[in-house]
Amino acid sequence: MSDDLVFGLYIFALATFVGYQVISRVPPLLHTPLMSGTNAISGISLVGSLVAAGSEHNRVSTILGFIAVCAATVNVVGGFMITDRMLRMFKSKRAPGADASVKAPAASAKGQPS
């Protein structure tokens, strides 16, 4: 194997290990902001794939760029859907103004003078 391939595999293995260690130690309170940051990075990759698809170097690069645009779009949309679902978990079941609109129960007829 060439030295460049071995070096690339070495960097990939280290990045995988470090990424796993970093993500596994994130407290649950920070998951939502971390997902939002990841969605922003996915948006940057979407812009890069649009540039790659529109560069028109040759037909293969255009096709691969189109595939990259599709994959990045699915990643961004899915990420925002997951973030929205996570944020909905923190909302209460009732609407915020529901308590004020609930009327007191009617007084019973017993013991009431007529």
pTM beyond cutoff 0.85 = no
Alpha-carbon gap, residue 31 to 81, rounded angstroms: 14
Mean pLDDT calculated for residue range 44-52: 88
Helix, strand counts (H, E) of the chain:
4, 0
Q: Which residues lie below 8 Å from residue 75, measured CB to CB, with a gap of 6+?
A: 42, 45, 46
Least confident among 51-65, 81-95, 97-111: 97-111
The H or E element spanning position 93 is none
pLDDT for res 110? 57
Mean pLDDT calculated for residue range 63-69: 90
Mean pLDDT calculated for residue range 47-60: 87
Alpha-carbon gap, residue 79 to 72, rounded angstroms: 10
